[in-house]
Amino acid sequence: MSHRPVCVKCGIEMRLKEDGVGCLDLTEKQKPCQIWDSDMYKCPLCGIEILTDFGQLPVATRHEKGFAETVALWRKHFSIVENKKDDIRSK
Ligand SMILES: [Zn+2]
């Protein structure tokens, strides 16, 4: 059992926008590292979007055979969000 995410700014439950979204974790050098299955939620008021509901384990990691092919398949058939490593962007 889980609770839908709540938008802190708006104080309202977010809506599921898309399930089966690939979260592609990148290394410090911004190279693909792991891919996770997740769900995208959107706030109906402010429109902010987040990924949540990650599985217990990644779908694939870069040390596994066929990782590049798996990433290519996800890019072709699903939405992919790249998760940049420690990229704060407030510099
Ligand atoms: Zn909101």
The pair of structure tokens assigned to 28 is 């410090």
Provide the whole-model pTM: 0.86
In a domain, 43, yes or no: yes
In a domain, 1, yes or no: no
Q: pLDDT-derived band of residue 2, with 50, 70 and 90 as boundaries?
A: confident
In a domain, 75, yes or no: yes
**Distance, CA of 55 to CA of 9 (rounded, Å):** 26
Domain span at residue 26?
A: 6-83
- Distance (angstroms) between ligand 1 centre and the Cα of 90 equals 21
Express each pLDDT in 35-91 by its tens digit.
Answer: 999 999 999 999 999 999 998 999 999 999 999 999 999 999 999 999 998 756 655
In a domain, 62, yes or no: yes
The pair of structure tokens assigned to 12 is 């309202």
In a domain, 90, yes or no: no
In a domain, 16, yes or no: yes
- Distance (angstroms) between ligand 1 centre and the Cα of 77 equals 29
If you ran DSSP here, which 8-state letter would residue 21 be given?
E
In a domain, 13, yes or no: yes
In a domain, 91, yes or no: no
- Distance (angstroms) between ligand 1 centre and the Cα of 48 equals 6
**Distance, CA of 24 to CA of 32 (rounded, Å):** 6
Element (H, E) at 73: helix 67-77
Q: pLDDT-derived band of residue 22, with 50, 70 and 90 as boundaries?
A: very high
